[in-house]
């Protein structure tokens, strides 16, 4: 599956790894795993990301080496991981030019914008695909790279709870544990290390919770002012949407985050039957069947109306 990619790695001297803005555990974990391996192989490699690495992922090896897309530089080979659309790369997209681009991803909405595209929507996380790549490279995983991949998988599967979790996911997790990963240690660092500001933000998010359509839809919204006042950072909003989804009557949860007064990021999660990727696509976004997102140009209130309407139509129209 990866023979093309492996020969490209062998041929290349300057390699960059890029991923989407507003990073999560999967794109950081899979990118850092690949970064550490290529670095250990003696390659000149840079991991470039528009945003800061969220605090909870800073224990991962190599996180201190992540660079911002500030300097113009040419690379022979550019990996784009966990990112379905070049628009989601933000400023980092400038490094695609002139390079052989390898896209490795599991988003069903992937636009195949690379020269080589390894896209498998059945993979629970891009971390699974990077694991497969390393196996095919005959690379013996050390604990540090294994921790990166385990973090990628545990976060993108919602701690092995989402429907994307398969026997393959668990087999890979098992192999990573064999390589030295201590499960309780990762849980402690990723899930039991909330900064105070994040908890205050959870309080604000719950305060904003609204129910629609006979309690089958929830919506929460946060403004930049709330993020600032609670002393939290943008990435602290990751997963807050789960509070709205994890209610017995709810099928779809919506989470709206103000980016500016005229621009918001909307996230969608569904539980059993609604394809939220279709809803996000109506607004130019994408993602997975059970987890998607889009950007809407408008105020929080305007975006809320638009999205709730679209979700309501999907739920009531029988259109899955």
Q: Using CB under 5 A as the criterion, which residues of the chain lie in contact with Mn ion when the complex forms?
A: 26, 82, 126, 156
Residues whose CB falls within 8 Å of the CB of residue 254, separated by 6 or more in sequence, listed in order:
217, 218, 219, 220, 241, 244, 266, 267, 268, 304, 307, 308, 311
Q: How far is the CB of 215 from Mn ion (least distance, A)?
A: 30
Nearer to Mn ion, 242 or 316 (CB): 242
Please list, residue by residue across 235-256, b when 16 or more beta carbons sit within 10 angstroms of its beta carbon and e when fewer do. Answer: bbbbbbbebbbeeeebbbbbbb
Q: How far is the CB of 210 from Mn ion (least distance, A)?
A: 28
Pairing between β-strand 100-105 and β-strand 116-119 as defined by DSSP bridges: parallel
Nearer to Mn ion, 82 or 251 (CB): 82
Q: How far is the CB of 109 from Mn ion (least distance, A)?
A: 12
Nearer to Mn ion, 8 or 20 (CB): 20
Nearer to Mn ion, 26 or 85 (CB): 26
**Left, alpha or beta for 306 (phi > 0: left; psi -120 to 50: alpha)?**
alpha
Q: How far is CA 207 from the centre of its chain?
A: 26
Largest CA distance in the chain: 58
Nearer to Mn ion, 28 or 274 (CB): 28
Q: How far is the CB of 89 from Mn ion (least distance, A)?
A: 14
Q: How far is the CB of 106 from Mn ion (least distance, A)?
A: 6
Nearer to Mn ion, 29 or 62 (CB): 29
Minimal CB distance residue for Mn ion: 26
CA distance 285 to 304: 15
Contacts 24+ apart (CB under 8 A), 237-244: 237/201, 237/205, 238/22, 238/24, 238/54, 240/201, 240/202, 240/205, 241/267, 241/269, 242/158, 242/269, 243/202, 243/205, 243/206, 243/209, 244/209, 244/218, 244/219, 244/220, 244/269
Q: How far is the CB of 317 from Mn ion (least distance, A)?
A: 29
Q: How far is CA 66 from the centre of its chain?
A: 16
Q: How far is the CB of 26 from Mn ion (least distance, A)?
A: 3
Query: What are the backbone dihedrals phi and psi of residue 91, each rounded to the nearest 5 degrees, phi first?
Result: -65, -30
CA distance 65 to 298: 36
Nearer to Mn ion, 153 or 308 (CB): 153
Q: How far is the CB of 81 from Mn ion (least distance, A)?
A: 9
Nearer to Mn ion, 81 or 217 (CB): 81
């Amino acid at each position: 599956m990866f023979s093309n990619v492996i020969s490209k790695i062998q041929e290349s001297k300057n390699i960059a790894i890029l991923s989407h803005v507003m990073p999560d555990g999967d794109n950081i974990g899979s990118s850092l795993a690949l970064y550490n391996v290529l670095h250990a192989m003696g390659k000149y490699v840079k991991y470039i990301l528009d945003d800061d690495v969220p605090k909870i992922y800073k224990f991962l090896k190599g996180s201190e080496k992540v660079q911002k897309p500030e300097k113009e530089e040419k690379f022979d080979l550019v990996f784009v991981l966990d990112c379905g659309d070049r628009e989601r790369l933000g400023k980092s997209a400038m490094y695609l030019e002139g390079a052989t681009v390898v896209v490795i991803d599991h988003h069903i909405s992937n636009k195949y914008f690379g020269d080589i595209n390894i896209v498998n929507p059945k993979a629970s996380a891009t971390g699974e695909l990077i694991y497969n790549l390393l196996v095919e490279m005959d690379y013996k995983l050390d604990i540090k790279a294994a921790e990166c991949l385990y973090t990628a998988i545990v976060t993108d599967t919602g701690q092995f709870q989402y429907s994307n979790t398969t026997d393959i996911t668990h087999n890979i997790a098992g192999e990573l544990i064999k390589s030295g990963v201590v499960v309780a240690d990762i849980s402690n660092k990723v899930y039991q290390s909330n900064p105070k500001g994040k908890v205050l933000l959870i309080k604000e998010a719950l305060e904003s919770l609204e129910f629609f359509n006979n309690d089958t839809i929830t919506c929460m919204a946060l403004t930049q002012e709330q993020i600032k006042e609670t002393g939290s950072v943008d990435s602290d909003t990751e997963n807050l949407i789960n509070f709205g989804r994890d209610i017995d009557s709810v099928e779809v949860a919506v989470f709206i985050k103000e980016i500016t007064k005229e621009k918001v990021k909307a996230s969608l999660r569904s539980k059993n039957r609604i394809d939220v990727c279709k809803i996000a696509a109506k607004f130019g976004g994408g993602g997975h069947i059970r987890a998607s997102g889009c950007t809407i140009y408008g105020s929080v209130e305007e975006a809320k109306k638009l999205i709730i309407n679209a979700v309501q139509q999907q739920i009531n129209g029988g259109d899955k």
